[in-house]
Structure 1
Amino acid sequence: MIKRIIYLLSLAVILNACSTTKYVPEGEKLYTGGTVKVEDKAISKSDSKNISAEMKTLIRPKPNSAILGMRIKLWLYYKTKNRKGFIQKFLSKYGEPPVYVSQVDLAKNSEIMTNRLQNESYFQASVSGDTIGKKKTAKAVFTALPGPSYTIRNITFPSATDNSLDTAIKGTQAGTLLKSGDKYNLDVIKSERIRIDTRLKEEGFFYFAPEQLIVRVDSTVDTHKVDLVVKIKETTPEQAREIYTIRNIYVYPNYSLRDTSLKLDQAQAYRWYNIIDPRKTVRPYIFANTVLLHPNDVYSREVHNNSLNRFINLGPYRYVKNRFEDVTPDSPKLDVYYFLTPYKRKSLQAEIIGRTTSANYTGTQINLSWKNRNAFKGGELLTVTLFGSTDVQVGGQNNGFNVFQYGAQTSLSWPRLISPFNFRSANAYIPRTILTLGYTSVVRQKLYSLNSFTGSFGYQFKSDIHKTHELNLLEVAYVKPRNITDLYTDSIRNPNNRNPSLKHVIDPQFTMGPSYAYTYDNTTEDYRTNSLYYRGKLSLSNNLYGIISGADTLAGKVKTLFGAVFNQYVKAEAEIRFFHKLTTGSKIATRLLVGVGLPYGNSTILPYNQQFFIGGPNSLRGFRPRSIGPGTVDPSPGDANTFIADQSGDIKLEANIEYRQKLFSIVYGALFADAGNIWNAKPHQVGGTFGPNFLTQMAVDAGFGLRFDATILVLRTDLGFPLIRPYTPAGGTRSITPSFKNAIFNIAIGYPF
């Protein structure tokens, strides 16, 4: 009872501290917002509700913001007003000046609402407003009388005649947004004009504009119905009625604002376009994939915009400026000019990065990158990166087993497909051919070192704004161990050690083969209620050579390639993320991950660098990184004095769900649950092989967290509680009672998915 009294008293003190009405000056009332009542029995309840909600959004000004009824920002304004202290000045940035009812213009608000209703089919609408006040506060109350709504009866487009513009507009009728039976809506009519103009811009009407269309409305044809007539304004100039074609195309690859002359006498013709480049900064073929318009083509705004996007994505150019010149002698013609301002060709960049890794290590990385944006004068991007990093774990059983890495990565990207086949595309995205070579040395202190050599050659291209394809004709990776310590060797031989994959970590690895990845992503389009991200990848290693050579490890036929034992497998991965927007500041985010690697022939297990891991800040957040699986295997080391090895597997299944809610400013809250596990494809550990009872072997956790989303950087904290583990420890159960004692605290950069 005493605790309840203290709680109520504390709450009363907080509410009193946040009270703002005592600061309202004499003769004023604090504005608390407005409401809209719809008084028309002829209007359905659903329409009345929609009208009321929409009209309420039009009321200005907005009242002071409040959280749980407390106007904290307004309270800060009053408390910090005219204060000179450092803290007061800092807090004043978050204050909000008072909004008084005297600032609400009832007549203007009523006029705006009436106009909106009339634009949405309620031609006889009227709105009036009044205020209702208390001692220190007041609200606005508006009464709307919509009257009957008017619906569309007939829509008439211009007749197809010898007039090319009339004929073109008539040809757009099939896709019209105006439908018989729909309510009249001015916004839809405006959108219809834009739609028609968009179609006309693809048919050469370069100078036409939406404003040159008029939609006449006849409301006398029937009771509460209208006829719409789409017409071309009589004032439309002749120029806007003409179909324009392309004459000449000029590209300036080294343009600056100091250039005042077009220098057409220095133009070098290459295929269908001309280049003005006295300094020979590029080779003429560089623009073969970017200049999509051709002489004698009918002007198309879509093709033109795609060309601009391709110029920008080409790589070497910071700015792209475009100009069309009307050069009509006897027929409508356009000359096209592209003015390109290049980046500095070579650049050097240094980065220092702080990070936390998926294995629960904290560290730093230094990158030194050199770029040549036009390496061979064909738009090629050459990048050479040197890097070094150190990752340490302070406390815990892996304390002292630090990880150091250093190496180099080189990539060469061509803005075209280097292929014996002639692939052509006319969308806004430039296809690329990419060659990469890399070397990395990984030093696991006190345990082992690994040399890793990688290389790839393939293509990356987008078929549209949402779809990306990555086809690597060849991916090669060779990992060779060195400096294996006695401690690590003894751990492998230790009979108490229940993790045979320790030896697998230091096995030589040689993979070579193609891969293909497909990505679909529309999550950047914030207007969507539902959005989706999907990525699927298929990787192969030495499949054909393994079959030809007759490789079969189980039969003792271990084969080599270039003197090294090669890995043979098929690996498929799929990730689906689905987001459902509940309100402006809240959403449900879900993810499903499935990965399957099938070793065969020359391999009985996936190479370590291709295996799956689970657990950690971007996975199962209630478990230590890489600490789950495979299957029902207990990951605890047999010797309490040794390090904790990472658990890995050939198969992975993971599912996550998260509720995200904006709290205030840049702070978001989250409630989440995760489930998943990994397994071996073939028997290596008791309980670790994938089988029909895999769903009963899932690890499960739940928790909550905060996200500090500053757009350019998202700092995330999560507190995860393990609920079910896939194994049964000695003297224990699979279920775990949630408590702060066994919770896992995660700090990470970015959203988990």
Structure 2
Amino acid sequence: MAVVLNACSTTRYLPPNEKLYTGGTVKVDDKNIPKSDAKALESELKTYIRPKPNSSLLGMRIKLWLYYKTRNRHGFIQKFLSKYGEPPVLVSQVDLAKNSTIMQNRLQNISYFQATVSGDTIGKKKTAKALFTALPGPSYTINNVTFPAATDNSLDTAVKGTMAQTLLKKGEKYNLDVIKNERIRIDTRLKEEGFFYFAPEQLVVRVDSTIEDHKVNMIVRIKPETPERAREIYSVRNIYVYPNYSLRDTSLRLDQAKPYRNYNIIDPRNTVRPYLFSNTVLLHPNDVYSRTTHNNSLNRFINLGPYRYVKNRFEDVTPDSPKLDVYYFLTPYKRKSLQAEIIGRTSSANYTGTQINLSWKNRNAFKGGELLTVTLFGSTDVQVGGQNSGYNVYQYGVQTSLSWPRLISPFALRADNGYIPRTILTLGYTSVVRQKLYSLNSFTGSFGYQFKTSEHKIHELNVLEATFVKPRNISQLYLDSIRNPNNRNPALKHVIDPQFTLGPSYAYTFDNTTEDYRTNSLYFRGKLSLSNNLYGIISGADTLGGKVKTLFGTVFNQYVKAESEIRFFHKLSANSKIATRLIAGVGLPYGNSTILPYNQQFFIGGPNSLRGFRPRTLGPGTVDPTSANGNAFIADQSGDIKLEANIEYRQKLFSIVYGALFADAGNIWNAKPHQPGGTFGPNFLSQMAVDAGFGLRFDATILVLRTDLGFPLVRPYTPAGGQRSISPSFKNSILNIAIGYPF
């Protein structure tokens, strides 16, 4: 009824003798074409039909309805809604002949040289659609491809040398797009060999379609009118870098150039040290010009850090032999800056919080491109109406980092890709205050490297990571909760245990999910962390054997920890996809430790995890976090091992609104016995928590607001008087409100 009423309300206002255009279809009428090919042609040709009909949702033309209801209205609401209205698309606006010509040209461009297309309209009382009939005829395939012969002419020889990788394959269908891409491919290859002034338009591909059996011969040639300098191989003469360039600079000031290695610096104010660009300028004097090397240099200048803009110029300098002078004009940012941030956040655990960050940056701290950042922060998280109401969390502290745009290493490591490797030193202090419970001091530090080996691959190696956490104030309420024999919860004590980790870590990330054209895309991150392994072995640390060792007077943690996360995305259509994620992590404490330090343990549940359960309220194993009702609060549940799997179907509904159906499963466990039912064992699959639900995403590109309603289906534990399996009902549901996608 809604569809019928909507259709009536959007056609009743049509002008006399006009019909609403409802779209077009294409029929390929050729029995000699396989059905699969015919369907593919129909789908492609349909995309060329113009104009597009009025948009609809479930058969209802909401935007057209808004147009009629808000036109000529002057109220505030009507004016606001009119922005989303859409005027009617009439069948009289459809140019059948023009559409037919466009589709016919497209068929000819993809091998159907004898194609014809005709169009007509099929109408009802108030609506009409267009029907186009295509007669493609036979498709023409490639019989032979000929390239220029290798001669004394260097350009002919270079083009001939690209033949092995040609896109024009014998037996494949003629395709104009492939021919255009072939010219670009050849030009790209020539740019690597010094043909600086060559262009794809200076290549021509002649096609002979007069041979039998609907085949064509192709001849790749260089146009005779190609200018002489496009036929020359250019090399580099001099390289000049201007580190403090502005638009007011009009003189090149070459007399002030100071040579350093393979380039010259023009920097009268001495704003940088000359070695800053030694890992950035990848071209060298007398090198044959290479576009890849040139682009990699530009990328490195941009990623260097201190520079807002990078302008590049090549100058043909020698009439006798083909030589280029290279100029890099760099416009710096303001060297020092101060930034303030106010952040608001909320979670499904009923915590709302605010954080204030005050950051000071020096983008060229020691004139070597170093980035020095000092951040002061303070935050508060308050729970309203939950079981932990009144046990608010306050944090304050300072974080400092110093980043060098190069690898500071005793080993000579050099790469010529477009990415700047970095050496990073961090130091930080955080004070965590859990109101009425405890306070913790946390000191952190790290020294390591971050570098990209390709567009998709990132490596992070921390030679040394250190964390020291020590309790400052512990309330009597918290101590009584730990000592309560009726509701003993080891997690409570573990939160306030002193922690001292010291060791290296390595992380590898592969990510091609930003490339929207892919049908399948993948994200993977793996990390390996170590703590006091060698020292623990040398010192003979063995907690279970009574040999507890210290380092700098403090009991240290000893463990090996591995983490991995895989996300796989499959695009079903332009507006829908399947998203999946698998997380596996394991930490093995040994020697001086029987459990991972609290800040290295795994947690599960919440808006970015299992959405049918509140954050950090699951596990370990079959432990029931709600059983300790003698406590006025519930401690976060943590474990040494984690398994989690998620699957989500995402569909665009309209405008910026997307819908999702999801299911999650997972749990955490201890590696060694600490709590009954909390240790990882062979029956771990039967201890998985499961939920499902649905949600909406409001994707405004720069910000994604997400609402997910999760229904718990299976608990890992059996609560008193309850069951592990739960009927999905709104009574048990959890509403998650978050920023961004869960994965």
- Using structure 1 for the length normalisation, give the TM-score: 0.97
CA distance in 2, matches of 1:453, 1:641: 30
CA distance in 2, matches of 1:624, 1:127: 60
Instruction: Map Cα deviations across residues 484-511 of structure 1 (whole Å, 9 max, x no partner).
Output: 0000000001122242121111110000
Instruction: Please tell me whether residue 154 in structure 1 is matched to residue 156 in structure 2.
Output: no
Pick one of 372, 375, 378 that aligns with 2:365. Answer: 375
Deviation (angstroms), 1:34: 1.1
Query: Which residue of the partner structure matches residue 228 of structure 1?
Result: 218
| AA matched with 2:614 | R
Query: Which residue of the partner structure matches residue 206 of structure 1?
Result: 196
Deviation (angstroms), 1:736: 0.8
Change in 2 beyond 3 A, CA 1:523/1:360: farther
Kindly indicate whether the alpha-carbon contact (under 8 Å) linking 2:393 and 2:435 is maintained by their aligned counterparts in 1: yes
Identical-pair percentage: 86
| AA matched with 1:258 | R
- SS across alignment from 2:12: helix
Pick one of 380, 383, 387 that aligns with 1:390. Answer: 380
- Of stretches 479-488 and 61-70 in structure 1, the one that deviates more from structure 2 is 61-70
Query: Which residue of the partner structure matches residue 582 of structure 2?
Result: 592
Deviation (angstroms), 1:135: 2.0
Query: Which residue of the partner structure matches residue 643 of structure 1?
Result: 633
Query: Which residue of the partner structure matches residue 260 of structure 2?
Result: 270
Instruction: Please tell me whether residue 440 in structure 1 is matched to residue 427 in structure 2.
Output: no
- SS across alignment from 1:378: coil
Query: Which residue of the partner structure matches residue 3 of structure 1?
Result: none
CA distance in 2, matches of 1:443, 1:690: 32
Instruction: Map Cα deviations across residues 570-618 of structure 1 (whole Å, 9 max, x no partner).
Output: 0000000000001111111100000100000000000001000111111
Instruction: Map Cα deviations across residues 532-563 of structure 1 (whole Å, 9 max, x no partner).
Output: 00000000000000000110001111111011
Kindly indicate whether the alpha-carbon contact (under 8 Å) linking 2:349 and 2:386 is maintained by their aligned counterparts in 1: no
Kindly indicate whether the alpha-carbon contact (under 8 Å) linking 1:244 and 1:298 is maintained by their aligned counterparts in 2: yes
Instruction: Map Cα deviations across residues 91-150 of structure 1 (whole Å, 9 max, x no partner).
Output: 000001111111111111111111111111011111111222222222111111111110
Pick one of 15, 27, 30 that aligns with 2:20. Answer: 30
- SS across alignment from 2:52: coil
Instruction: Map Cα deviations across residues 276-308 of structure 1 (whole Å, 9 max, x no partner).
Output: 011110000000111000000000001100100
Instruction: Map Cα deviations across residues 71-110 of structure 1 (whole Å, 9 max, x no partner).
Output: 1111111111111110110000000111111111111111
CA distance in 1, matches of 2:479, 2:42: 75
- Of stretches 451-460 and 41-50 in structure 1, the one that deviates more from structure 2 is 41-50
Kindly indicate whether the alpha-carbon contact (under 8 Å) linking 2:380 and 2:392 is maintained by their aligned counterparts in 1: yes
Kindly indicate whether the alpha-carbon contact (under 8 Å) linking 2:532 and 2:558 is maintained by their aligned counterparts in 1: yes
Query: Which residue of the partner structure matches residue 567 of structure 1?
Result: 557
| AA matched with 1:421 | F
CA distance in 1, matches of 2:382, 2:627: 20
Instruction: Please tell me whether residue 615 in structure 1 is matched to residue 605 in structure 2.
Output: yes
Instruction: Map Cα deviations across residues 413-441 of structure 1 (whole Å, 9 max, x no partner).
Output: 00000001110001110000000000000
Instruction: Map Cα deviations across residues 463-501 of structure 1 (whole Å, 9 max, x no partner).
Output: 000000000000000000011000000000112224212
- SS across alignment from 1:258: coil
Kindly indicate whether the alpha-carbon contact (under 8 Å) linking 2:347 and 2:737 is maintained by their aligned counterparts in 1: no
Pick one of 519, 532, 536 that aligns with 1:542. Answer: 532
Change in 2 beyond 3 A, CA 1:519/1:18: farther
Counterparts of 1:300-699 in structure 2 under 5 Å?
A: 300-356=290-346, 360-640=350-630, 642-699=632-689
| AA matched with 1:447 | L
Structure 2 runs not aligned, ≥5 long: none
Query: Which residue of the partner structure matches residue 4 of structure 1?
Result: none
Query: Which residue of the partner structure matches residue 242 of structure 1?
Result: 232
Query: Which residue of the partner structure matches residue 5 of structure 1?
Result: none
| AA matched with 1:163 | N
Kindly indicate whether the alpha-carbon contact (under 8 Å) linking 2:350 and 2:385 is maintained by their aligned counterparts in 1: no
Instruction: Map Cα deviations across residues 195-252 of structure 1 (whole Å, 9 max, x no partner).
Output: 0000000000000000000001011122200000110000111100000000000000
Kindly indicate whether the alpha-carbon contact (under 8 Å) linking 2:601 and 2:638 is maintained by their aligned counterparts in 1: yes
Instruction: Please tell me whether residue 751 in structure 1 is matched to residue 723 in structure 2.
Output: no
- SS across alignment from 1:670: strand
Kindly indicate whether the alpha-carbon contact (under 8 Å) linking 1:18 and 1:71 is maintained by their aligned counterparts in 2: no
Kindly indicate whether the alpha-carbon contact (under 8 Å) linking 1:703 and 1:718 is maintained by their aligned counterparts in 2: yes
- SS across alignment from 1:140: strand
CA distance in 2, matches of 1:38, 1:497: 75
Instruction: Map Cα deviations across residues 240-265 of structure 1 (whole Å, 9 max, x no partner).
Output: 00000000000000001000000000
Instruction: Please tell me whether residue 87 in structure 1 is matched to residue 64 in structure 2.
Output: no
Instruction: Map Cα deviations across residues 28-85 of structure 1 (whole Å, 9 max, x no partner).
Output: 2111111112222222222221211111110111111111221111111111111111
Deviation (angstroms), 1:329: 3.4
CA distance in 1, matches of 2:500, 2:8: 67
CA distance in 1, matches of 2:55, 2:263: 58
Query: Which residue of the partner structure matches residue 137 of structure 1?
Result: 127
Kindly indicate whether the alpha-carbon contact (under 8 Å) linking 2:348 and 2:736 is maintained by their aligned counterparts in 1: no
CA distance in 2, matches of 1:18, 1:574: 56
Instruction: Please tell me whether residue 720 in structure 1 is matched to residue 704 in structure 2.
Output: no
| AA matched with 1:372 | N
Instruction: Please tell me whether residue 187 in structure 1 is matched to residue 144 in structure 2.
Output: no
Query: Which residue of the partner structure matches residue 690 of structure 2?
Result: 700
Query: Which residue of the partner structure matches residue 10 of structure 2?
Result: 20
Kindly indicate whether the alpha-carbon contact (under 8 Å) linking 2:712 and 2:733 is maintained by their aligned counterparts in 1: yes
Kindly indicate whether the alpha-carbon contact (under 8 Å) linking 2:63 and 2:85 is maintained by their aligned counterparts in 1: yes
- Using structure 2 for the length normalisation, give the TM-score: 0.99
Kindly indicate whether the alpha-carbon contact (under 8 Å) linking 1:530 and 1:580 is maintained by their aligned counterparts in 2: yes
CA distance in 1, matches of 2:510, 2:694: 29
Kindly indicate whether the alpha-carbon contact (under 8 Å) linking 2:204 and 2:222 is maintained by their aligned counterparts in 1: yes
Kindly indicate whether the alpha-carbon contact (under 8 Å) linking 1:358 and 1:618 is maintained by their aligned counterparts in 2: no
Kindly indicate whether the alpha-carbon contact (under 8 Å) linking 1:475 and 1:513 is maintained by their aligned counterparts in 2: yes
- Of stretches 35-44 and 265-274 in structure 1, the one that deviates more from structure 2 is 35-44
CA distance in 2, matches of 1:411, 1:64: 54
CA RMSD across the alignment: 1.1
Query: Which residue of the partner structure matches residue 41 of structure 1?
Result: 31
- SS across alignment from 1:712: coil
Instruction: Please tell me whether residue 105 in structure 1 is matched to residue 116 in structure 2.
Output: no
CA distance in 1, matches of 2:114, 2:253: 63
CA distance in 2, matches of 1:443, 1:672: 36
- SS across alignment from 2:133: strand
Alignment coverage as a number of residue pairs: 743
| AA matched with 2:129 | K
Deviation (angstroms), 1:16: 4.5
Deviation (angstroms), 1:391: 0.2
CA distance in 2, matches of 1:497, 1:438: 36
Kindly indicate whether the alpha-carbon contact (under 8 Å) linking 1:325 and 1:336 is maintained by their aligned counterparts in 2: yes
CA distance in 2, matches of 1:223, 1:655: 55
CA distance in 2, matches of 1:230, 1:431: 42
Change in 2 beyond 3 A, CA 1:667/1:16: closer
CA distance in 1, matches of 2:562, 2:8: 57
Kindly indicate whether the alpha-carbon contact (under 8 Å) linking 1:19 and 1:71 is maintained by their aligned counterparts in 2: no
Consecutive aligned runs of 4 or more in structure 1 exceeding 4 Å deviation:
357-360
Kindly indicate whether the alpha-carbon contact (under 8 Å) linking 2:57 and 2:654 is maintained by their aligned counterparts in 1: no
Instruction: Map Cα deviations across residues 710-735 of structure 1 (whole Å, 9 max, x no partner).
Output: 11111111111111111112232211
Kindly indicate whether the alpha-carbon contact (under 8 Å) linking 2:245 and 2:330 is maintained by their aligned counterparts in 1: yes
CA distance in 1, matches of 2:153, 2:96: 51
Change in 2 beyond 3 A, CA 1:467/1:124: same
| AA matched with 1:618 | N
CA distance in 2, matches of 1:53, 1:397: 56
